[in-house]
Amino acid sequence: MGRFSGFRVTLAQVFKAKVTGDYPKHKRPKPERFHGRHVLNRYEDGMEKCIGCELCAGVCPARCIYVRGADNPPEAPVSPGERYGFVYEINYLRCIHCDLCVEACPTEAITETKLFEFSFTNRQDAIYTKRELLVGDDGRARRQPWELWLGGEDDDTSAWMRATSPSGVAAYEGRVAWSGELGFGVREPEHGQHAPLALEPGESDANTKSAAASGPGDAHS
């Protein structure tokens, strides 16, 4: 009798709703503040935002960022100002995605995407170089062969990055994205960002503009 009771328990499970999904074909939406792999951002004129100050490396509790700054060559500067990030590496065998590097950065050069599905078969792939971290000309993260990007994943990355990168989407200007969620507030548009805001269906123009006008230091949720 005990044996049949066991089968009854098993059979009962067959007709219950599944709690698992068809991963990775279907993924659950990630939280807005999800911390994934990093990107190094650029200004809309193509210049790099990183100034090689090493604050991100200094604050990193896992000691997984390696930065070396160098003086900008006067004839072909890489970033505005005196210095730029000559070498930039993040070791993802160590990173705990705490986001302290993002908070420490004075120029919003480093932000995080929502991508966490990347696996390595060798140590070299796990250490992302500046070339791999720097956003492409379309303002999106450069996809590496070992990363599993699915549709729409990069749409949820930093709007600030998307607004200010070369060939990025200026309509993201002033919209609350990673910076607002982290408590920095919405920032004033950077130089060259003057396109009208693109509103989502059902979103009022007044709401968007009042958020954009609240200025640095205001927390948004």
**Three-state helix/strand/coil letters over 122-179:** CHHHHEECHHHHECCCCCCCCCCCCECCCCCHHHHCCHHHHHHCCCCCHHHCCCCCHH
How many angstroms separate the CA atoms of 87 and 204, rounded? Answer: 44
Question: Which amino acid makes up residue 68?
Answer: R
Q: Which of 39, 78, 90, 177 binds ligand SF4 (CB under 6 A)?
A: 90
Q: How far is the CB of 62 from ligand SF4 (least distance, A)?
A: 4
Q: How far is the CB of 221 from ligand SF4 (least distance, A)?
A: 22
How many angstroms separate the CA atoms of 216 and 30, rounded? Answer: 26
Rg (CA), the chain: 21
177: contact with ligand SF4 by CB under 6 A? no
Alpha helix ranges (H) inside 90-133? 100-104, 123-126, 130-133
With respect to ligand SF4, which residue has the nearer C-beta, 62 or 211? Answer: 62
Please name which of 113, 108, 104 lies closest in space to residue 65, comparing C-alpha atoms.
104
39: contact with ligand SF4 by CB under 6 A? no
53: contact with ligand SF4 by CB under 6 A? yes
Could you tell me how far CA 49 lies from the centroid of its own chain? 14
128 forms beta bridges with 90
With respect to ligand SF4, which residue has the nearer C-beta, 100 or 169? Answer: 100
With respect to ligand SF4, which residue has the nearer C-beta, 104 or 197? Answer: 104
With respect to ligand SF4, which residue has the nearer C-beta, 100 or 127? Answer: 100
With respect to ligand SF4, which residue has the nearer C-beta, 116 or 149? Answer: 116
* Spatial contact of 84 and 72, defined as CB atoms under 8 Å apart: yes
Q: How far is the CB of 135 from ligand SF4 (least distance, A)?
A: 13
Chain residues 98-127 in contact with ligand SF4, contact rule CB under 6 A: 98-101, 104-105, 107, 109-110
**Stretches 62-70, 160-168, 190-198, 199-207: which one binds ligand SF4 (CB under 6 A)?**
62-70
163: contact with ligand SF4 by CB under 6 A? no
Chain residues 66-85 in contact with ligand SF4, contact rule CB under 6 A: 67, 85
* Spatial contact of 60 and 101, defined as CB atoms under 8 Å apart: yes
Which residues form the interface with ligand SF4 (CB under 6 A)?
50-56, 60-62, 64-65, 67, 85, 90, 95-101, 104-105, 107, 109-110
